[in-house]
């Protein structure tokens, strides 16, 4: 990973959950040339943020989620 990318990543991880979700949405949209896909991702991000804010889902740290997935596949 480049030094600049590491700096951007470290700064991004300091953002709130909602800010990180919106940043992720924008980054994904910047990779896509298909407006329909961009709109679908934007809607999905907003839906997930709303579920988290409403308390309907519990967030799990990425390391824990990966460990659970590996355990399930083992």
Query: What DSSP letter does each residue of 29-41 carry, written as one string?
Result: HHH---HHHHHHH
How many structural domains compose the chain?
Answer: 1
pLDDT in the model for residue 32: 66
pLDDT of residue 1 exceeding 90: no
Contacts of 9 (CB under 8 A, 6+ apart): 1
pLDDT in the model for residue 27: 87
16-57 confidence digits (pLDDT tens) = 998 999 898 888 877 767 777 878 888 999 999 999 999 999
CA–CA separation, 50 and 37 (whole Å): 20
**Domain housing 57:** 3-73
pLDDT in the model for residue 11: 94
Residue 71's pLDDT band (cuts 50, 70, 90): very high
Tell me, yes or no, if the pTM score tops 0.75. no
Q: What is the DSSP letter of 13?
A: T
Query: Angle, nearest 10°, between helix axes 35-53 and 17-31?
Result: 170
């Amino acid at each position: 990973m480049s030094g600049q990318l590491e700096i951007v990543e470290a700064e991004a991880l300091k953002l709130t959950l909602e800010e990180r979700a919106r940043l992720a949405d924008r980054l994904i949209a910047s990779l896509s040339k298909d407006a329909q896909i961009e709109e679908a991702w934007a809607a999905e991000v907003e839906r997930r943020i709303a579920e988290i804010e409403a308390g309907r889902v519990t967030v799990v740290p990425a390391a824990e989620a990966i460990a659970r997935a590996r355990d399930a596949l083992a």
